[in-house]
Amino acid sequence: MNRSPLARRERSKLVHSGVWSIALLFLTVASGLGQPIRVESGLIDGETEDACRVFKGIPFAQPPIGILRWREPQPPLPWSGIRRADTFAPICPQKGASVPGAPLEPMSEDCLYLNVWAPRHSVGDKLPVMVWLFGGGWTTGSASMPLYAGDQLAARGVVVVTVGYRVGAFGFLAHPELSRESPHHVSGNYGLLDQIAALEWIKRNIGAFGGDSHRVTIFGQSAGSMSVCLLMSSPLARGLFQRAIGESGGVFSPPAAVPGSKFLFLKGAEETGLALQKQLGAASLADLRRLPASDIQKVAQNLPLLFAFDGYVLPRQPFVTFSAGGQNDVPLLLGSNADEGRPFLDGISVRATSFGSDLARTPFAKIPPSVLEHYPSATDDEAWASRAALERDVRFGWDIWTWARLQARTGRAKVFYYYFAHVPPTRADSPWKHWGVGHWAELPYVFGHPNQAPGAWTSEDHALSEAMIGYWTNFAKRGDPNGPGLPHWPAFVITQPEVLHFDRSIHVGEVANVDKLEALDQYFTEARKPAPANQSK
């Protein structure tokens, strides 16, 4: 990552800018009771909420606008005086919300900011740090939606950070001209580079909030969980975190099983960038950089703009990296939900008579009959249930199961595997009412926010949330989720693959839906060989 000499000189001048700044610095170090604190770019002051301090909208990089659109994130510039950190920054331009029912938020390309929830602390405290990476399919998402507020986790003695990063065309556009201007001869993956830059900022600055830069846990859901998987695979992220939590997302299926998968590699991703340029009528990269964000967003939403295996940020596919034991080897907690696939069927008609032919028009088009035998479709009801199960298993279940097996097989650090099967209460007018234990269902429990859930919680729901917060924060503290008052959670091992089930009770059980996962595994194993040369790196 580039570091500007000018930015370093300016930061140095601020640190030595006179008695007034030194006095404020003394107040910062004195305690975590409300005074401004110093980060590398200057002094900031946040808000006090109950037992923690909240700092909103802290820049960890320069605004990626103008000439910095589609470049690696650059270090934030220093400021003078005290910067008020009491307002969330805008989110990256996008269409829709990453979680149904989430409030609309201001949008801007100037979106590289993070938020911190820190318990009031004493001098010398070194609290574990939990860094949240939001989901949203790489095209939507927010670090500031109320669901992700870190107050309840911070109340358990951790510092919580939520990170804003670029999505869609602004975060993942590759283009031949961009690759030529890059010192690494690659482009795209800017959203992942944003996450890495945020982790570097946290390593340098989190001590000011009472955090321990050597006890950082990255955690995320959906595309955020996929980010965790990719960061465990990226050499650029090595040493920036010491634990990892993945909720409902991984990146292990072979590209050969994905229709039109060439966009997952640099050359194909660059072709997608050229297609965007053509549709926008831009003559050059310079023209693209001058276009309004809204124009780019309208066209980009119809193109596959995701991460790519570029040889730099992602030298290899995670399956290859983990299989060889080359991952960033840290304790891992991961799992998925019982009805993940249901939300993806909203508005989709599933009929027994057209079950197979309908799949041919989906990302599951290449799945063979040998696998579909495990998803029967004799009646319309059975066909709908099987389609939902297929969505669950292909999108989430198999990746999580494979991630756990690979880490257990080639890593030294422990794995803790969960299955969330508790049906949350929903209101009659809730968009979640037909989803059962769908995608996102665990999030209000993990963050402890019943007011953000789509129904009135019972005492059972509150108890489950308390337990999950306990497991998650224990894991952040020690790399092991177990602790007093919690049912024992055994580590997952290949010879005894035990999973903790969160249901009406918390209990240890087997891997759910394992017959279906094994059938998919056989198919993916065949799809992975023989791999084309450019996909085996």
d(CA 6, CA 286): 25
Instruction: Report, as an integer, the average pLDDT of 405-432.
Output: 94
d(CA 76, CA 59): 6
**DSSP category for residue 436:** S
Q: What percent of the chain has pLDDT over 70?
A: 92
Sheet (strand 52-59) strand order: 47-49, 52-59, 113-119, 159-163, 127-133, 211-221, 243-247, 332-337, 415-420, 499-502, 506-509
Q: What is the reported pLDDT for 413?
A: 98
> What band does 25 get if pLDDT is binned at 50, 70 and 90?
very low
347 — alpha (psi -120 to 50), left (phi > 0) or beta? left
> What band does 5 get if pLDDT is binned at 50, 70 and 90?
very low
Q: Per-residue pLDDT for 28 more than 80?
A: no
Top pLDDT among 3 and 196 is at 196
What's the burial of 341, exposed, middle or buried (CB within 10 Å: 0-12/13-18/19+)? Answer: buried
Name the residue among 78, 77, 76, 82 with its Cα closest to residue 21.
Answer: 82
What is the tens place of the pLDDT at every residue in 248-272? 999 999 999 988 789 999 999 999 9
Q: What is the reported pLDDT for 258?
A: 85
What is the tens place of the pLDDT at every residue in 320-345? 999 999 999 999 999 999 999 999 99
Q: Which domains does the chain possess?
A: 5-94+107-130+137-213+266-300 (3.40.50.1820), 316-347+393-535 (3.40.50.1820)
Q: What pTM, to 2 d.p., does this model score?
A: 0.92
Strands (E), 169-231: 211-221
> What band does 237 get if pLDDT is binned at 50, 70 and 90?
very high
Provide the CA 444 distance to its chain's centre, in angstroms: 16
Name the residue among 402, 406, 435 with its Cα closest to residue 420.
Answer: 435
Which positions are catalytic? Answer: 222, 340, 439
Q: What is the reported pLDDT for 398?
A: 98
Q: Per-residue pLDDT for 12 more than 60?
A: no
Helix locations, 112-162, DSSP H = 151-154
303, amino acid identity: L
What is the tens place of the pLDDT at every residue in 81-136? 999 999 999 999 999 888 888 889 999 999 999 999 999 875 578 999 999 999 99
Q: What is the reported pLDDT for 532?
A: 52
Long-range contacts of 42-47 (CB under 8 A, 24+ apart): 42/14, 42/78, 42/79, 42/80, 42/81, 42/82, 42/83, 43/81, 43/82, 43/83, 44/82, 44/83, 44/84, 44/85, 45/82, 45/83, 45/84, 45/85, 45/86, 46/85, 46/86, 46/116, 47/86
Mean pLDDT (the chain, rounded):
91
What is the tens place of the pLDDT at every residue in 147-169? 999 999 999 999 999 999 999 99
Q: What is the reported pLDDT for 530?
A: 73
Instruction: Report, as an integer, the average pLDDT of 163-192.
Output: 97
The two tokens of residue 14 are 């601020």
What is the tens place of the pLDDT at every residue in 71-80? 999 999 999 9
